[in-house]
A and B are shown apart, each in its own frame.
Chain A
Amino acid sequence: MTDIYGPVTDWQNDFDHAVPEYNERAHEIWAEFQSSGCPVAHSDRYGGLWAPFTHEMVHEIAYDTDHFTSQGVVVNTGRPLIDAPVGPAPPITSDPPFHNIARRLLLPPFSPKVIAAWEPEVRRLCRELLDRMGEITPGESVVDAAMQYAQSIPVNVIARMLGFPTEDEELFRGFVHDVLERINEPVEARMEFMQRLDDYLTVQIEEHRENPRDDLTSYLLGVEIEGQKLSIEHVRGSIVLLLVAGIDTTWSAIGSSIWHLGTHPDDLRRLVEEPDVMLFALEEFLRAYAPVTMARLVKDDHDFHGCPMKANDWVLLPFPAANRDPAQFDRATEFVIDRQENRHGAFGLGIHRCLGSNLARLELKVAVEEFVARFPSFAVDGDVTWSVGQIRGPRRLPVRIDSVA
């Protein structure tokens, strides 16, 4: 859904987050809204769209499941066909009370202690990717930190958690890439991409049914909702949700963090000299460069602080903008590498708190640690391309390597 309505000239009344300019200039645009008299944008695009930019309003909507439904979380010109409270992809598209049933099912394999055990494997993977960059000539070699590094981490980690054959990694990454990235292809092509991924998952799930083992796919085949095992469609749907929710998001967070370090040499030096600052730096990367904006649909006509919202209008939840609101954070627009007070909402607020947040944090932490351990000095050098739409992060990130450890 990129750029279907053309460029925006009036951000207040003809707002569109899916024009390329938005993610490129996001920080400026949010600051303008936060300091203007009206922090809520509106637009007739997508059949009606609102976007509030203060932390207070984003927080209020995320908590208000009476007036706003999660049935649709990605803004588009249509409206979801499957009704609340279940929605097309539980639990992210579910409302209470069903939401909690679907969510509890997925929480245990993503709990802090289960995820912590994955650290050595994630580290090994990051080192492998750095090795694969080949011979580096300091001061000359330019690598694409988005394409050659950040992009490969989440997809390979989830494939390993799901217990898919490692020799399929390339194949699997291709399927996922087609579904997530080639969003501007014709509908028939997109259906074919989805079908290929579905077919692959079906084979893997069947194989796990015959040979259960200790991995996420077997876990999903074993759990029960009210005494019933999940159908194969439900297991496949859950895996697709984890791919859709976990890959572009984490890729973007890793890329933005490397972008920051490649444009702020003081912060890079501090992290290299004082690796323990990562405990706080990790959260500051997430606050300052939160990659995920979600959406809700308005349930019934609703007056929101004077905004006449209509049933079925979209409302964006720009957590990244809320994270930079001066009313909530000291020095909100600055990157403070050891920020002590940091109640950021990068993983959402309220009942839909990112289920994968422990995994995402682990991947982001290890990816940045390993990158700076190998390349203690580097700088962004060349044209950076930013993603378009609700997930914000660099898609091309040329980085010149200035030293190799």
Chain B
Amino acid sequence: MRVTVDSEKCQGHNRCFALAPELFDVDDYGTAVVIGDGSVPADLEEKARLAVANCPEFAIEIEE
């Protein structure tokens, strides 16, 4: 599984970083970026789905 953030859509609600700091980071302007290449270890898949389900701008996507 991999996660990606669409930086055009991201408005910095900071939900992903709050729920899954292992997978997402935020810059000085509050915009989210994935950590590393965005690949998700098996034990964090649940958290990745949680981040998607809580992003108000629909900016996060998962590739299985």
Whether the Cβ atoms of A351 and B56 lie closer than 8 Å is: no
Whether the Cβ atoms of A340 and B53 lie closer than 8 Å is: yes
Smallest beta-carbon distance B64→chain A, Å = 18
Shortest Cβ distance from B31 into A: residue: A107
Whether the Cβ atoms of B56 and A357 lie closer than 8 Å is: no
Contacts of A112 in B (CB 8 A): 14, 17-18, 26, 30
Whether the Cβ atoms of A108 and B29 lie closer than 8 Å is: yes
Most-contacted residue by chain B among A342, A343, A351 (CB, 10 A): A343
Contacts of A357 in B (CB 8 A): 13-14
| Residue A358 interfacial (CB < 8 Å) | yes
Given contacts A351-B11, A353-B11, A357-B13, contact A341 B53 (CB under 8 A): yes
Give the interface size class of chain A: 20 to 34
Given contacts A112-B30, A279-B19, A358-B30, contact A107 B12 (CB under 8 A): yes
Shortest Cβ distance from B32 into A: residue: A112
Given A111-B26, A347-B56, 16 more A-B residue pairs with CB atoms under 8 Å apart are A104-B29, A107-B12, A111-B30, A112-B14, A112-B18, A340-B50, A340-B53, A341-B53, A342-B53, A342-B54, A343-B54, A349-B11, A349-B57, A350-B11, A357-B13, A357-B14
* Residues of A that sit less than 8 Å from B by CB: 104, 107-108, 110-113, 279, 283, 340-345, 347, 349-351, 353, 357-358
A-B contact pairs, 21 of them (CB 8 A): A104-B29, A107-B29, A107-B30, A110-B30, A111-B30, A112-B14, A112-B26, A113-B26, A279-B18, A340-B50, A342-B54, A343-B53, A343-B56, A343-B58, A344-B56, A349-B11, A349-B57, A350-B11, A350-B57, A351-B11, A353-B13
* Residues of B that sit less than 8 Å from A by CB: 11-15, 17-19, 26-30, 50, 53-58
